[in-house]
Amino acid sequence: MHNETEKARAAPRRQPEPAPAIAPAQSAQPARRPDPHAFADETMRKAIRDGLQARPRKLPASLLYDALGSSLFEAITFLPEYEVTRADFALLERHSREVFDALGGPIEVCELGPGAGSKAALVLRQLIERQPTVPFTGVDVSRTALDQCQHALEAIPGVVARAQQARYLDGLAAAPRTEDHRRLVLFLGSNLSNFERAAAARFFHEVRAHLQPGDGFLLATDLDKAPEQLIPAYDDALGVTAAFNRNVLLRLNRDWGADFPLDAFRHRAHWNAQARRIEMHLEAERSIRTRVLDIDVLMAPGETLWTESSHRFTTAELRGWGEAAGFRCAGQWQNAPWAFAHSLFVVPDRFPPVFPPGFLPQSSFP
């Protein structure tokens, strides 16, 4: 469940689920599932068309997250090679109370992309020991994910869980506030990894603009590490990540009228050292000819479709972005040997408003 920035624009972990297929009678057109979110559908159509015509060809990463893709991602989080999720849980287990202490209380929690709610449950079980009730809002574009999350949290006495079906920042703006509570925004699972770096830096400003003095932003991110350690996490022995990646072709065929032969594409995960990211591609093993939307796609053997980027960060880089957005970094906790960090950013009391770069005309600055 994710993703207004690169991830929300391009890679929410779960997209609005399409409605059941309605095949138009006697139509020569392949059946396409109408998307109830027509705007999202139009945005996706444009992204697919533009991406297929770009070089390298690049597809919106949100294509990875239909119902099957989200389930495959869930499976990835259990793979021995993919330590990201376990590191996130371990830090939440160890340091949530220090996060609460740093904020003071009482606290309300708002999670951007809560998935099935298991991380929120871990946090809220600890928070409920300190205050009689905890208001919680989960923000996601997926109704299914929100329902699962709400179900998981209902089991915790004292938690008042609400759902906002929206993109991250819209949902954050709309989430009702509880009087005299400090808001703790959770953005976990290293979802920031799937943003382009510039969008990641911008996201801090965007979140900051929706918070008040005393509020906190807890960000979980995977850190730089040796490619030998990282690549297996994106090219696992069981082939789950390969299936997760190839599911994009399945979606293009089913929902967008393409007929990519799935067996002609190989999953590729490679480390781009300069950009400090893992890139997932689908590499054509033979010549491919298909038509998607209204464009002909001709691929030579070895040519790829770029489906996702997953960036790595340093703690200093994250702190710098947070501080540039007007936060104070109140703590960073790291996991080892799998390098992963939780960073807590707090809006200082009495801090001048900070605007994203370009928000004000240049002449406004001295």
Cα torsion 31, 34, 40, 45 to 10°: value is 20
What dihedral do alpha carbons 51, 55, 61, 66 form, nearest 10°? 60
Alpha helices for 8-83 (secondary structure H): 38-53, 67-76
Q: CB nearer to ligand AVI: give 35 or 279.
A: 279
Measured from the CB of residue 323, what is the shortest distance to ligand AVI in angstroms? Answer: 24
Of 45-53, 93-101, 176-184, 187-195, the segment contacting ligand AVI by CB under 6 A is 187-195
DSSP labels, 144-169: HHHHHHHHHHHTSTTEEEEEEES-HH
- Of 193, 290, 315, 343, which one interacts with ligand AVI (CB under 6 A)? 193
Residue 290 and residue 137: Cα distance in Å, rounded? 43
8 Å CB contact between 308 and 194: yes
Question: Rule CB under 6 A: is residue 190 a binding residue for ligand AVI?
Answer: yes
> Binding of ligand AVI at residue 191 (CB under 6 A)?
yes
Residues 83-102 that bind ligand AVI (CB under 6 A): 84
Scanning residues 302 to 331, which ones bind ligand AVI (CB under 6 A)? 308, 310
Cβ 186 to ligand AVI, closest distance in Å? 14
Indicate the residue among 13 and 205 with the shorter CB distance to ligand AVI.
13
- Judged by beta carbon, residue 5 or residue 194, the one nearer ligand AVI is 194
Q: Per CB under 6 A, which of residues 63..82 are in contact with ligand AVI?
A: 76
Residue 234 in contact with ligand AVI, rule: CB under 6 A: yes
**Residue 26, phi then psi, degrees to nearest 5:** 50, 35
For ligand AVI, the closer CB: 84 or 186: 84
Among positions 241-280, residues that touch ligand AVI (CB under 6 A) are 241
For strand 107-112 and strand 182-187, is the pairing parallel, antiparallel, or unpaired? parallel
Q: Of 4, 5, 13, 220, which lies in the binding site for ligand AVI, with binding defined by CB under 6 A?
A: 13
DSSP 336-359: TTTTEEEEEEE--TT------TTS
SS3 of 40, please? helix
Contact positions toward ligand AVI, by CB under 6 A?
13, 76, 84, 189-191, 193-194, 234, 241, 308, 310
